[in-house]
Structure 1
């Protein structure tokens, strides 16, 4: 029975299911949980400098396109503080949770087509305030620079055609510190997971990145875990599910790049800023079951110097046995 049920950057251990399981069970059932598997009680800020384009971070949602005769080329465009952009096209609504880069490159420079045009990801240059040249040979010029709300933007497509579009624009030049803390590029240094049942401690797994290319791992299955029929694959999944890099934007978008070349695009928000509780969810509802509890994940965030750790514990039950997993993912503030 596979217990590695979540593979997003949040805990980055297996396959992403956005499980929102209760964690208010009797903690005494799971004895021997190490202290480093649990977040500190106090939420404090780290020590970070703003990224180069922190003051240019913006998201533009298209409301009207040109004179209304042509089909919109994109639904939204977002500029990130690290100098990258994300274009979301109308195809994104049908995109899978984890899309794939159409290029197998592992260094994200230039422009990349994600999931056959669902998203376009690349770099941008600020020519002057409000004017941006994108690496896919397009240009964005914000007419009323600094406005929040509806405004006109001139978009020059790759064919050199100027199109006036109306967008709902959100500038976050001076977001509150708790947003500035997380909104940057992060490289994942390691991920750890402790696996328990209410009968025994099953095992421990750790993956970590070496030189940003090689993923190492160690897995320990206890004698009790072996007796119950568990093996290493039940603790950690394939190394390809390791999250190499994740970006958070002040406009509520995250992008996670996995070791196997896949990409996840989602949404995030602080649901408890004082205690550092962060929620992530799918940008589109791909299911018809109306089960909202399967559409998000809450994690506890802790900053330490130039690092960030995300803590999560979740439960499952099968054949009258309770399973619980504690996980910690450690990130460094760097591209």
Structure 2
């Protein structure tokens, strides 16, 4: 039934989805209590139907597990046409889009609260009108012109335990089918998606009533579903979303096992030919949410981008703090740094924590230079700040590795960093929102700071030339919004106590595009740091 020549019924397979023995257990069996974490993107999931008939798109749907579906308008656009044209496939853990006919399918990642990157398709932005919910969508295709369209959100199923557990994407583990047909006679076979071509490999349910089955030969069948008898776990499906109890519809049953696997069972008999089949499919959740709130779980916040959490004023364009850097921001993320201010040495950031396919062992953020002479892998804490950084440097002598660790207070101030090399271990003391002391541990080297009454409106923080912290490439984490928050005020002076000796005070003067400094007792100011802001 699930092989290519039997692709006639995927819905039957779903019947087993929630089968702790629904169809074969004795009367004393009990329904398994569903205990599953919400899918990673449950809060943003939904189907948005475009109301403008001149639009090249019919709808955009964001699934709860991080998958998206875009239906393109065609000359014969009807619900039933999806039966023939909704053919697409994604082999785990692919993240690119697959297009077949009028359907685009792939994975998406949030950019901010209302914008999403639909990989292989483009960027969408959902817009609300006061308390009216989502009313408009901006679509920026990877190829083509930006367009603004009106939408309405499709109605959703009830918010109950069984529906919540079912509505996500599932991977097929194995299939058991048996039956009789006029070509093969009786058959009884158990197999996996890796054993044959044309076998179902993934299933997606949504609360908007979408039901998709993905096959390992790059085909997909699109259906619609609703509860036929929820108390008995029975689902009714339709090819055309018209519910007339005709040949375009069918039933299956779903149940969950104690280990949260989904089983689907389907039975069909053609009384004219006496052919029949029975299919049982076992599935497991794709991209399960790893955090259930227990101790040890870390959920990186996605309500704001890192830059939005840290920077409340202007964003820097260029900074010369012991070396010139140019910063490129896109959609609330630092995406590139041009070290030296030119394209010759480009550093690129990747925000893996936004990808629902990310493995728990993979870093949340990675940044590296274009020639890959170094790579920094970053793991974030529950505040969204770097707490562990694994650094790999490559050179003609084989290179070297080191690990950095960071700690923060509850307000997001960096209070400790072990840079991981050359005794670069720092303890930072904050008072009333300002960094008043940096102690370089194991070196008997302390730098103290005083502050003016001028607010640090643009959240400037220069680690090397003011705060006496030699972080090298780790400083880029701050400008990415990943290394804590800045002092509230602008530094007025600093003084160093090192190896029992007090160094002269250093005073600072802040101007619109530079910081000037002079040692205590000197009359001339010199340029310490240059900076400019993005337009």
Please report the TM-score for the alignment, with normalisation by the length of structure 1: 0.68
CA deviation profile, 1:160-189 (whole Å, cap 9, x unmatched) = 744332111147698222211111111111
Sort the Cα spacing of 1:106 and 1:180 in 2 relative to 1 into closer, same or farther, 3 A: closer
**1:272 aligned residue (226, 229, 240):** 229
Alignment match, 1:257? 214
Q: 1:258 offset after TM fit, Å?
A: 0.7
The partner residue of 1:76 within 56, 59, 84 is: 59
Give the SS at the match of 2:164: helix
| Distance across 1 between alignment mates of 2:22 and 2:192 | 16
Q: Distance in 2 between matches of 1:15 and 1:325?
A: 12
Please say if residues 18 and 295 of structure 1, whose CA atoms lie closer than 8 Å, have aligned partners that are also in contact. no
1:316 to 270, 294, 297: 270
Correspondence for 1:129 among 98, 113, 120: 113
CA spacing shift, 1:19–1:184, aligned 2, 3 Å: closer
> Given the superposition, is the C-alpha separation of residues 73 and 43 from structure 1 closer, same or farther in structure 2, using an over 3 Å criterion?
farther
Is 1:110 the counterpart of 2:93? The answer is: no
Unaligned runs of 5+ in 1: 1-5, 21-34, 66-70, 216-238
**What does 1:179-198 align with in structure 2 at a 5 Å threshold?**
179-195=163-179
Residue 50 (structure 1) aligned to one of 38, 47, 51: 38
Equivalent pair of 1:39/1:302 in contact (CA under 8 Å): no
Evaluate the alpha carbon distance shift between residue 105 and residue 175 of structure 1 in structure 2; reply closer, same or farther with a 3 A threshold.
closer
Partner of 2:253: 300
TM-aligned CA deviation for residue 251 of structure 1: 1.2
Question: Is 1:329 equivalent to 2:281 in the alignment?
Answer: yes
- Residues 95 and 51 of structure 1, relative CA distance in 2, 3 Å threshold: closer
Matched residues in 2 for 1:17 and 1:142: separation?
35
For the residue of structure 1 that corresponds to 2:43, the secondary structure is helix
187-196 or 153-162, larger mean C-alpha shift: 153-162
What TM-score do you get using the length of structure 2 for normalisation? 0.44
Which of structures 1 and 2 has the bigger CA Rg? 2
The SS at the match of 1:109 is: coil
Aligned length: 269
Query: Relative to structure 1, is the Cα distance of residues 193 and 86 closer, same or farther in structure 2, using a 3 angstrom cutoff?
Result: same
